[in-house]
Structure 1
Amino acid sequence: MLSIQRHHQSVEDLPYELVERKGVGHPDTMCDAIAERMSRYYSQHCLREFGGVAHHWFDKVTLYGGGADIDYGRGELTSPYRVKVFGKGAFRVGTTEIPVHDLMFRAAADVLTEVTTGFDPARHLVVELGVVDHQGSGRGASRYQPASPADLVPLRSAGLVSNDTNLLHGYAPLSRLETAVQGLEHRVNGPDFKHRHPDTGWDVKVFGSRRGDAFSLVVNMPFLAAHIESMDHYRVRKAVVQQELEEYTRSLGLDDCAMLMNATDRNGRPYLTALGSVADTGDVGVVGRGNRVNGLITPMRPMSIEAPAGKNPLDHTGKIYNIMAQRLARQVHEQCGGGAQVHIFTSKEAPLERPDEVVVFTPEADEEQVRSIVEAGVAGSGDLTAELIEKGITLW
């Protein structure tokens, strides 16, 4: 059932706004990325070997970090990262085994290599499985213990139903503060910046606040200990980076903007890591504790508490509708003008193409135009699943 409400309060009208983003090297974001990569690799293997996807969920990933020897001019991991995945999945189809541990290890290794500097999976990574194939009382025997490829689900299968009861939200466009916070992290962890500043780490966290038209930003970003010779050298390098980031915020039109970089320096010690993340020295990450699907933590906005990363992309609406709500809001905004919010509610076993409720808040859109956008989006859930598996969608 679709409901269209002709009202939308802009967050820009609020006198105060807060936004946060945890960067790709933050342990929580690492876990989101690892869980989603595990689901993709598992799904791709099943499609390649059996023509369909075995039901699974790997959305309970925990990373407990290693140990490191860190000092000026020196940064070396002395104890490995440990990644543990809890969830459910099939270990074989009939008598043919699925190499679950190998797939999980490769997923974790690939992600961690991408979001750190100098990570060597052979020396720096241990992956532990807490995955089971136990059958629930409300499910058929083929769900986690498929007897043959016929028990698996091909891509774009008709007649799928929701695996859970979920409430999801999306909105568009981003506010000025949201754009700045997200843009800063993307910039610092982007390839051009890392090429110019190879001594910078990946565990970047950006906080932003706005009072009226006055902005304040806090950027926490480690440097790689092996590249920093002294406290004076650290201060020089930090000043160079901060100047570049301040120039970037001015390019966004934030003229009244104060920036604090590496607030931890107040204790007189530099922010140094071995590989670029606090996971180097034992910090812990968990799926779902970081950014929402739009890449931000936005307490002034509608925000789902679903943790979509690692969930089954075939029928888990906590994942599918989370992405869909965000995309529908963006489409309504771009095609109809004004801000938009989309809220999707579904109950368990409801057909994927017929969620229980879709509510759209928009100030001035034509009802038929909005209805057309929503109906096309909901009907495309199978294409969204294929995109998740084949190409990947960033959920953090």
Structure 2
Amino acid sequence: MSPTTDADLSDFVFVRRNDGLPIEEIPFELVERKGVGHPDTMCDAIAERASRYYSQYCLEHFGRIAHHWFDKVMLFGGESDLDYGHGELVNPYTVLFAGKGAHRCGDTPIPLADILRRAAADVLSEVTTGFDADRHLVIDCRIVDHQGAGRGRSRYRPESHDDLVAIGDPSLVSNDCNLLHAFAPFSRLEQAVLRIERLINGPDFKARHRDTGWDVKVFGSRNGEDFSFIVNMPFLASDISSFDHYLSRKAECREEVVGLLRDTLGGDPAVLFNPTDRNGRPYLTALGSVADTGDVGAVGRGNRVTGLITPMRAMSIEAPAGKNPLDHTGKLYGVLAQQLARRLNEMTGKPVETHLFTSKEAPLDRPDQVVVRVHGLQDGGDEEQKIRAVVAEALANTAELTREIIVTGVTMW
């Protein structure tokens, strides 16, 4: 697609000064992150991995992508036998895939069941300890190829590769009505919450603390300049010999988190670590997640595209993971809004919000409205025109964004 002209842009791209208080100046702020081992985050990752693997398979075998959406994934947790020094998953996880997609292209089957199983197995192996797909995973595939109202038969039942869609096809339009929001930069609290989870679930920490689990949940609050945090982090039951041992290990891990916060925020922020053990129950799991003990996860119930849950910010409720990267604007524009916010913030040096609205069937390079709100926007300068040019370029390059999502992968949780 070629960039839209400036005259066209004025019809749907609106650049405005944001006269509200910047996030750092509001008196109270709350932020949450569900870590990579949380059942909801697991589902986001599994759904997106399934879409990527499916898209990659179609590109390799047909040169184009079959329409699909796998964004209705649920994970039903297993059952564990837990005690000090012992943790075993005795009943497996069940991952339910519900959605739509092509099962074949003409007479050529698409190995959908194998693709879905590989996606779930790969993700769960990365965000648990000791996961064995042969023993610990059951797949329930409910992906159908039924046709939608007004759609041709070829949408989910392609008769040949000619019925599939190429990346960048000029006929691509928005698959739905969507409203997306993003912002940049992150506040100090937002950065701190994200860094805590990434520290604990990062490779260096896990190498030093192999007895720690992955189902990390972090809450942060700021009251004026007073910061406080709640961190939930499980331990592997097989590596914990007693409650005293658990408390000792918890104290060691807590000190690393406190050190991170001292380095990034200064002072001595309050950190409540594993508050559930105040009743004498240690936070122990078999593989590192509450999914080991029957908890259930679902796509879209956790982090937004930012990786955070930010109730003090404009925040989309779209669930992007698993959606078709060709034309599901709930996915494409969600990622695009965040990339635009970061780029515009870097360009202007000012806090930026981006808001995109599109109706169904709108061309991908021309959503109904794009609103960019900038703190401290100067009237009468060329800043507004530069912002419009960046927006136009981004909208003209949705095909490259699709390729990035499929080939490189974009984390949306």
TM-score by length of 1: 0.99
SS of residue paired to 1:144: coil
SS of residue paired to 2:52: helix
Coordinate RMSD, CA, aligned = 0.8
Tell which deviates more after alignment, 141-150 or 363-372: 363-372
Which one-letter code corresponds to 1:2 in the other structure?
Answer: V
> What corresponds to 2:191 in structure 1?
179
Tell which deviates more after alignment, 253-262 or 146-155: 253-262
Q: Distance in 2 between matches of 1:155 and 1:323?
A: 17
SS of residue paired to 1:321: helix
Q: Distance in 1 between matches of 2:147 and 2:243?
A: 57
Which one-letter code corresponds to 2:221 in the other structure?
Answer: S
Which one-letter code corresponds to 1:306 in the other structure?
Answer: E
Which residues of structure 1 form unaligned runs of 5+? none
Correspondence 1:132 to 2:149: no
> What corresponds to 1:195 in structure 2?
207
Q: Distance in 2 between matches of 1:359 and 1:149?
A: 38
Give per-residue Cα distances to partners, 1:4-37, cap 9 Å, x unaligned.
1112531111110000000000000000000000
> What corresponds to 1:94 in structure 2?
106
Correspondence 1:339 to 2:356: no
Q: Which consecutive segments of 4 or more residues in structure 1 shift more than 6 A?
A: none
Q: Counterparts of 1:1-396 in structure 2 under 5 Å? A: 1-8=12-19, 9-365=21-377, 366-396=383-413
Q: Distance in 1 between matches of 2:369 and 2:88?
A: 53
Assess if the C-alpha contact under 8 Å between 1:68 and 1:274 holds in 2.
yes
Which one-letter code corresponds to 1:202 in the other structure?
Answer: W
Which one-letter code corresponds to 1:125 in the other structure?
Answer: L
Assess if the C-alpha contact under 8 Å between 2:306 and 2:412 holds in 1.
yes
Which one-letter code corresponds to 2:403 in the other structure?
Answer: A
Note the C-alpha offset of 1:363. 2.3
Tell which deviates more after alignment, 3-12 or 49-58: 3-12
Assess if the C-alpha contact under 8 Å between 1:205 and 1:220 holds in 2.
yes
Q: Distance in 2 between matches of 1:315 and 1:364?
A: 34
Percent identical pairs in the alignment equals 63
Assess if the C-alpha contact under 8 Å between 1:215 and 1:254 holds in 2.
no
Note the C-alpha offset of 1:257. 1.1
Give per-residue Cα distances to partners, 1:255-297, cap 9 Å, x unaligned.
1410000010111111000000000010000000000000000
> What corresponds to 2:9 in structure 1?
none
Note the C-alpha offset of 1:154. 1.5
SS of residue paired to 1:233: helix
Which one-letter code corresponds to 2:135 in the other structure?
Answer: R
Q: Distance in 2 between matches of 1:11 and 1:256?
A: 22
Which one-letter code corresponds to 1:212 in the other structure?
Answer: G
Q: Distance in 2 between matches of 1:326 and 1:307?
A: 14
Q: Distance in 1 between matches of 2:67 and 2:253?
A: 46
Assess if the C-alpha contact under 8 Å between 1:201 and 1:222 holds in 2.
yes
Give per-residue Cα distances to partners, 1:305-355, cap 9 Å, x unaligned.
000000000000000000011111111111011100000000000000001
Assess if the C-alpha contact under 8 Å between 2:22 and 2:375 holds in 1.
no
TM-score by length of 2: 0.95
Q: Distance in 2 between matches of 1:254 and 1:170?
A: 28
Which one-letter code corresponds to 1:184 in the other structure?
Answer: I
Give per-residue Cα distances to partners, 1:227-280, cap 9 Å, x unaligned.
000011001100000011100000002414100000101111110000000000
Assess if the C-alpha contact under 8 Å between 1:336 and 1:364 holds in 2.
no
Which residues of structure 2 form unaligned runs of 5+? 1-11, 378-382
SS of residue paired to 1:252: helix
Q: Distance in 2 between matches of 1:132 and 1:121?
A: 24
Aligned residue pairs: how many?
396
